[in-house]
Amino acid sequence: MSRGLRRTSLYALLGVAGLAFVFPFYYMVLGAFQEAPTNDPSQLVPDGGWTLQNFALINERVDLAGSLLNSGIFTVGVLLGTVTFGLLAGYASARLRFRGRGAVFAMMLLVQMVPFQLLMVPLYVQLTRNYGLGDTHLGVILPFLINTTAVFIFRQFFRQLPEAIFEAARIDGASELRILWSVALPMVRPAFITVVLVTFIGPWNEFLWPFLITKDATMQPLAVALANYISNVAQSTANPNGAILAGACVLAFPVIVLFCLFQRYFTSTDVGAGVKG
């Protein structure tokens, strides 16, 4: 097989995979604007006219502004905690030498193996009964304030950086925090963007934990409000399929926009550029 034919076959395979990935989003968006979308996913263009009524029903039944504000507070709080603690813990486990570093890393991997669902009941009892944080933003944020996945990502990126760069910075009298902020962090920008996107998707789409901790409807984030709308209201509308797809669009839109804005930063850095020879 010639080189050109192999390249054409590879592009064709990637194109088919790309279409398979995009099709659910295409059907979701198209169905959300249809008056009577079909339930048959094999039909590329659903029947029926175009309408904004599906989104208008959401706006009537759900406090979008308040839910978006709650989601923003929840997501930003988790992002700040995850990035801050992830940077510090990842840098310490990768570049600092201390007794028990291997044991700490093994425990971090062990924590990743424990599903969060197993911890929900004890966390709920602890936060609501012992600390009185039910129906508060802090109660929703605290369990997600540090993420072992973020620590692992930062650790692996920091370990790839040449040791000579850190030794040179220490010889010049820089503190560890100064080295982290001025030397290491600019060189692991892809890791930083990855952690931000991965962390954003989690709390933005999380509905089970906020549903448990926030019984007050005015405190619930958008994912919980839309889940309640889809399960309790959408089925009673004239177009339940369109209502469900419209709710999915509202929830997915910010994530897609964020990814489109930051996807160009997913590039490799020349970590060895600062080392002579």
**What pLDDT score does 76 carry?**
92
**What pLDDT score does 40 carry?**
58
Residues of the chain with pLDDT under 70: 1, 37-48, 234-235, 264-277
**What pLDDT score does 42 carry?**
55
CA distance 54 to 241: 9
**What pLDDT score does 234 carry?**
64
Q: What's the pTM value of the predicted model, to 2 decimals?
A: 0.77
* Structural domains of the chain, with CATH: 54-264 (1.10.3720.10)
**What pLDDT score does 277 carry?**
45
CA distances from 23 to 57, 115, 142, 162, 164 (A): 25, 30, 37, 43, 48
CA distance 41 to 251: 21
**What pLDDT score does 81 carry?**
92
